[in-house]
Amino acid sequence: MNAATDSRAARDDYYRRIAPQQLTPLWESMAALVPEQPRSPAVPHLWRYDDLRPALLESGALITAREAVRRVLILENPGLAGSSAITQSMYAGLQLILPGEVAPSHRHTQTALRLIVEGDGAYTAVDGERVTMRRGDFIITPGWTWHDHGSDADQPVVWLDGLDIPLVRFFDCGFAENLGTDTQPVVRPEGDSLARYGATLMPLDFEPRHAASPLFAYPYERSRDTLARLARGGVPDACHGYKLQFTNPATGGPAMPTIGAFIQLLPQGFVGAGYRSTDGTVFHVIEGRGDYRLDDGTFTFGPRDTFVVPSWVRHRLHASEDTVLFSFSDRPVQRALSLWREQRDA
Ligand code: 1HN
């Protein structure tokens, strides 16, 4: 027996003997515990809306929104099977509500966002105010605020949900409760928060009720117009085209404390430079077509598709038409903890 096999056998024997004491040797796992750079188990993936839409609509005949509480198909990352996660920290799903249905009021410590994918005329109520949802609108549900959804539309309405579920699970700080009624009392008229907080004006007596934006609905009409004006007036970023962050107007910071949300315009013919960042990011195509190129493959996207780029995976965005992408990630958390990094090829 040579020295190497002898030490291997001796070490394995040692590991077996210490295991019952819940002890393991750091030197066997050090490189994996402290990698030289992120190597996410999450993988890039694209969900083509036209392909999944039949299954989503079929769920409408299987269960009501009331029985389901939320009738959602989870977009689970193929590299994170069983976790209900699309990145290590974020959850995403597509929610269906049919004409006349109600998704009953509840609240939880998880923060949620919605991006309306298909159909106009459903509504969501958040913290005493109702807003009608239209395609492309961005809506937030701050943690621990009552929220319920309903639909007066004459067709199915679908939106993308993004929540910080894996992050809250990691910290073991999830709480939830049902209001016990379908809908919460609506105490302010529709459009109230947009008027108060969405017009570069703030009430003098404004006191934050939580860390998230007091403006809870960001109409697509406005963000689309802003992007169009930016594109007329300036030069696109080499990696991102024209990209903006949804902000909390009271702070200028991100709209939610745990989730960063962004919207960007890639003009027709845009060929983005390589980019990677430590915040694994979920993209949703509001309009347009293009592809994102990875070092080892290309995904082609069209309207209403959703795709994910994990942490530190280099990618380049190309647009064959004027394209508007919505995206979200855990960037505010990483930045608050001084962990966030990015690398640009240009
Ligand atoms: C939730 O409350 C909603 O309010 C959507 O629409 C998805 C996933 C897990 C837990 C709560 C919603 C959710 C959720």
Q: How many residues does the chain have?
A: 346
- b/e burial code for range 60-79 (CB count within 10 A of at least 16 → b): beeeebeebeebbbebbbeb
Ligand 1 neighbour 45 (Cβ under 6 A): no
Ligand 1 atom with least separation from CA of 114: 6
Q: Is the pLDDT of residue 4 over 70?
A: no
Ligand 1 neighbour 161 (Cβ under 6 A): yes
Q: What is the pLDDT of residue 286?
A: 98
C-alpha 256 – ligand 1 centre gap (Å) = 16
Contact 145, 127 (CB under 8 A): yes
Residue 16 domain-assigned?
no
Contact 196, 214 (CB under 8 A): yes
Going by CA atoms, what residue is nearest to atom 14 of ligand 1? 70
Residue 68 domain-assigned?
yes
Residues 183/186/190/191 CA torsion (nearest 10 deg): -110
**Distance, CA of 210 to CA of 189 (rounded, Å):** 21
Ligand 1 neighbour 93 (Cβ under 6 A): yes
Q: What is the pLDDT of residue 49?
A: 98
C-alpha 70 – ligand 1 centre gap (Å) = 6
Residue 27 domain-assigned?
no
Q: What is the mean pLDDT of residues 105-111?
A: 98
C-alpha 113 – ligand 1 centre gap (Å) = 9
| Angle ∠(203,209,215) on CA atoms, nearest 5 | 60
| Band (6; pLDDT cuts 50, 70, 90) | confident
Contact 327, 67 (CB under 8 A): no
Question: CATH number of the domain that 220 lies in?
Answer: 2.60.120.10
Q: What is the pLDDT of residue 3?
A: 61
Ligand 1 neighbour 163 (Cβ under 6 A): yes
Q: Is the pLDDT of residue 1 over 70?
A: no
**Distance, CA of 89 to CA of 108 (rounded, Å):** 17
**Distance, CA of 144 to CA of 168 (rounded, Å):** 13
Ligand 1 neighbour 145 (Cβ under 6 A): no
Ligand 1 neighbour 95 (Cβ under 6 A): yes
Closest CA to 284 of 43, 122, 79, 48: 48
Ligand 1 neighbour 266 (Cβ under 6 A): no
Task: Give the pLDDT confidence of 235-292 residue by residue, as tens digits.
Answer: 999 999 999 999 999 999 999 999 999 999 999 999 999 999 999 999 999 999 999 9
Q: What is the pLDDT of residue 262?
A: 99
C-alpha 287 – ligand 1 centre gap (Å) = 25
Name the domain count of the chain. 1
Mean pLDDT estimate for the chain: 97
Ligand 1 neighbour 133 (Cβ under 6 A): no
Residue 312 domain-assigned?
yes
Which two structure tokens, joined as six digits, stand for 295?
């070092």
Choose which residue among 56, 59, 66, 70 to substitute to test ligand 1 binding: the one with the highest number of ligand atoms within 8 A of its C-beta: 70
Ligand 1 neighbour 147 (Cβ under 6 A): yes
Contact 327, 281 (CB under 8 A): yes
**Distance, CA of 239 to CA of 249 (rounded, Å):** 26
**Distance, CA of 128 to CA of 239 (rounded, Å):** 40
Residue 323 domain-assigned?
yes
Residues of the domain holding 246: 45-344
Q: Residue 170, exposed/middle/buried by CB under 10 A (0-12, 13-18, 19+)?
A: exposed
